[in-house]
Amino acid sequence: MFELLFKYPRQDYARSELVFTADWPAWLPWSLLLLAVVGIAWMLLSRRGNAAPTQLVAVGTLQLALVAVVLVVLLQPALQTEQLKPGENVVALVADSSASMAYGQGEPRLDSARDNLRAAIADSDVTSRFFSLSARAEAVDDLATLQAGGEATAIGESLIDIIGGARSQSLAAVILASDGVDTTGGISADQLAEVAAFGVPVHTIGVGRDRIPEDIELVQVVAPDKALPDSTITARLAIRHDAAGDARVRVYDGDELLATEVVTLADNVTMTTAPISLDLRDAGYHRLQFSVEGPGDEPELRNNEHSTLVKVEEQQFRVLYFEGEPRWEYKFLRRALDPEGDIRLATLLRVSPNKFYRQGLDSAEQLENGFPATRDELFVYDALIIGSVEAATLSEDQQQLIADFVSERGGSLLMLAGPNGLGNGGWGQSGIASLLPTRLPASTVDSFERIKAEVSLTPQGTDSAMLQLASGEENLDAWSQLPEVANYQATGDLKPAAISLLNVETSTGSQPLLVTQPYGRGHVYVLATGGTWRWQMSMPLEDLSHEMFWRQLLRALVGTAPPGISLSVNANHGDAAVGLRAEFRDDAFLPIDNIGVSAVVSHEDGSTFTVDMLPDPADAGVFTADAALDTSGSWYFEAIAERGGEALHVARASVYSESEQAEHFNLRRNAALLQRVSEATGGRYFDAGNLDGLADLLRYSSAGITEQILRPVWNAPAVFLLLLSLKFGEWLLRRRWRTI
């Protein structure tokens, strides 16, 4: 209807400027308009005795509007539009030829991309240049020769290469047909700004499907890169799916099947996460292979597998246990640990106000003055346990030292219940109250109850590896069969970041028993009972539930404490580059100064290369670098700190890379990424097969060589309808009033 009345589409008016083409001096139309105003006013005033003022104003307004429209028509208004000059512009047609474009329902995505690119310029008078896009852009003679096999997709860098390389040509637009699957992690803000700065619109055509119900993907596996011998680790899996059903997960360590589990894929969600517990026994590198089998036949199985590398190594950890009174929990906790195991427990037991009984020491001087008073003394430990002892036993400086131990050292703190512990000991009003995961009751209230009570797992505790007394569903049975604890203590309200892993069933209902929260670099736990020793005394001699609980809890405490010298590898699934982060701190966990750091990167095939690591300006003692991993397999890293040409420290890490498989993951069309590119560059996004409007966008592109065209609008039907309406309206009013 708009085009019928105004001759041209609405979009043409939006992209054009209205100009007047009559060769009139500027004063003439205004003079004629003024003359018309005077004439109409004189005529109406001469008849003021025959009509009311409102009637005169109405008729005069219609007459004046009619004159104004006639004057506008005489000025010959026209649309001035810039459009591409025929035959003198280039349009870059870019087809994504990466391996993901080989997928499709009925036909490969690459075939759809070719068809849509040809259709996009079918009615355009432009010269076409053809490009393929995968890990880099490449000019091609004909799109028909393209094969979908590129091992990576870098849309941002490829567009920069295409547009930047065409500066000598009159590039009017870029048309990109792709599924939007970018294996570099997407287009960065800097890349998007660089593409937009060229001023060339990028129109994108999305091919492929947003949902693939017949396919599932094992998108991510998160597992610790290090573990202790004979330990249980928890790996968390993320499975992408577009339909509900059951998926079977299998985990292999070489040829050994470690675990198998059925995961229910929920309806109305596209991502399901699930934990799976794995027992690792022997020291050394373990390549864990995860695979997931969907409920039906799948078009692609390579995205159902993922591998990760875990190093199991023997390591000695140190835990300090500060207890205020001899009690059963102290005795049985010490018995639960193997003195030859990987956790060395040093205990400081107060036997009188100024006298301590020390056990598990490395030397006679260790802890000879009681609780540590300096960073060097306390920071050698990986975890700290405080039992039934009053907060006033420690000075303000020692309490601040505990806070620094958790927040800066990254150590773990475990607070135990007792007659003089937790709230009774005044810890809720102490210098470490802000660290604790609960708001402990005031010391004026006796919160310690010597009453037997049952312990139960919370949903979060069910998923926790440190609370696995048995595998699978048998773990719930194992916890339900444990004897009651001998006592419990009120914990108060949980803080926002805290979670309860164990509850105790009291006469007034459930209350948290084992609570934890992160704080700074470390973690803080509260175990609101001093009565787990009954799990040892009331169970058969061969039952090891008590020992297993304490060994796994202490391993969890020390397992999160970072060493002073460390190297971590940040790698996303499928990425061909990883981020290295090395940290070098002394025994007091202060940054080591005046060092240079380089990283030696080695592949399992024996090839090596070296990258320089640069200091992090925001974090002293930290050095970072990026390393390109162009081959799948196991990679090993050594960060070497040197001073004056002498090696001081070495930090090691490892990772399993699957860079060559990246194109088989995230197969769903990423329309959002393509829309971002188009919006940032002044282009437009189209779904494949629906290219309405693209031809006009090319014709009126602001880039390239353009020319101005004038299209008259004074003879539009709407103008003549307006003239008739004004005159007819005046006639109706005169006829009705019969006085003018």
Mind listing the pLDDT tens digit for each residue in 287-337? 899 999 988 788 788 888 888 888 888 888 999 999 999 999 888 888 888
Question: Which pLDDT band holds residue 225 (cuts at 50, 70, 90)?
Answer: confident
Task: Over range 516-542, report the average pLDDT.
Answer: 92
Average pLDDT, the chain: 87
660 pLDDT band, cuts 50/70/90, is low
Asked whether the predicted pLDDT for residue 560 surpasses 90, the reply is: no
Q: How confident is the model at residue 667 (pLDDT cuts 50, 70, 90)?
A: confident
The pLDDT value recorded for residue 661 is 74
Alpha carbons 577 and 373: distance in angstroms, whole number: 44
pLDDT at 18: 82
pLDDT at 701: 65
Q: How are beta strands 245-253 and 284-293 bridged, if at all?
A: antiparallel
Pairing of strands 685-687, 317-323: unpaired
Residue 575's pLDDT is 53
Q: Which CATH number fits domain 86-209+668-704: 3.40.50.720, 3.30.9.10, 3.40.50.410, 2.60.40.10?
A: 3.40.50.410
What pLDDT does 314 receive? Answer: 80
Could you read off the pLDDT of 50-67 as tens digits, one per residue?
777 888 788 888 888 888
Position 515 scores a pLDDT of: 97
CATH architecture of 565-663: Sandwich (2.60)
The continuous run of DSSP H or E covering 20 comes out as strand 17-20
pLDDT at 460: 92
Top-confidence range, 106-120, 337-351, 424-438, 718-732: 424-438
More confident residue, 354 or 162: 162
Give 704's pLDDT tier (boundaries 50, 70, 90).
Answer: low
Q: What pLDDT digit, counting tens, does each position of 710-729 carry? A: 778 878 888 888 888 888 88
What's the CATH number for 317-559?
3.40.50.880
Using pLDDT thresholds of 50, 70 and 90, give the confidence band for residue 88. low
Residue 572 reports pLDDT greater than 60 = no
Beta strands in 325-440 (DSSP E): 343-352, 355-359, 383-386, 412-416, 438-439
3-class DSSP assignment, residue 501: strand
Is residue 128 predicted with pLDDT exceeding 90? no
Task: Quote the pLDDT of residue 488.
Answer: 94
Separation between Cα atoms, residue 572 and residue 576, nearest integer Å: 9
* Residue percentage of the chain with pLDDT more than 70: 95
Segment 360-382 mean pLDDT: 90
Give 148-175 as a DSSP string.
S-BS---HHHHHHHHHHTTTTS-EEEEE
Strand 646-657 and strand 633-643: pairing?
antiparallel
Whether the pLDDT of residue 188 is over 80: the answer is: yes
Residues in contact with 715: Cβ distance below 8 Å, sequence separation at least 6, in sequence order: 7
Contact 166, 92 (CB under 8 A): yes
Least confident among 305-319, 421-435, 673-687: 305-319
The answer, yes or no, to whether residue 342 has pLDDT greater than 90, is: no
Is residue 573 pLDDT above 50, yes or no? Answer: no
Q: Residue 83: its pLDDT value, please?
A: 65
Q: Looking at domain 217-312, which of 2.60.40.10, 3.30.200.20, 2.40.50.140, 3.30.565.10 is its CATH number?
A: 2.60.40.10
Cα–Cα dist 599/274, whole Å = 35
Residues of the chain with CATH 3.40.50.880: 317-559
- Residues near 567 by beta carbon (within 8 Å), at least 6 away in sequence: 580, 581, 582, 583, 599, 637, 638, 639, 651, 652, 653
What percentage of residues in the chain have a pLDDT greater than 90? 37
Confidence band (pLDDT; 50, 70, 90) for 574? Answer: very low
pLDDT band at 613 (very low <50, low <70, confident <90, very high): very high
pLDDT of residue 87: 64
Least confident residue range of 85-99, 529-543, 633-647 = 85-99
- Going by pLDDT thresholds of 50, 70 and 90, the confidence category of residue 220 is confident
For residue 450, which amino acid is it?
R
Give the residue-averaged pLDDT of 268-282. Answer: 87
Q: Which residue has the higher pLDDT, 99 or 500?
A: 500
| Chain region(s) in the chain for CATH 2.60.40.1930 | 565-663
Kindly tell me if the per-residue pLDDT of 545 is higher than 60. Answer: yes
Looking at the chain, the domain(s) classified CATH 2.60.40.10 span: 217-312
pLDDT at 39 over 90: no
Instruction: Report the alpha-carbon distance of residue 74 to residue 61 in Å, rounded.
Output: 20
Cα separation, 366 vs 381, in Å, equals: 12
Per-residue pLDDT, 522: 94
Higher pLDDT among residues 461 and 297, named by residue: 461
Q: How many whole angstroms separate alpha carbon 41 and alpha carbon 722?
A: 22
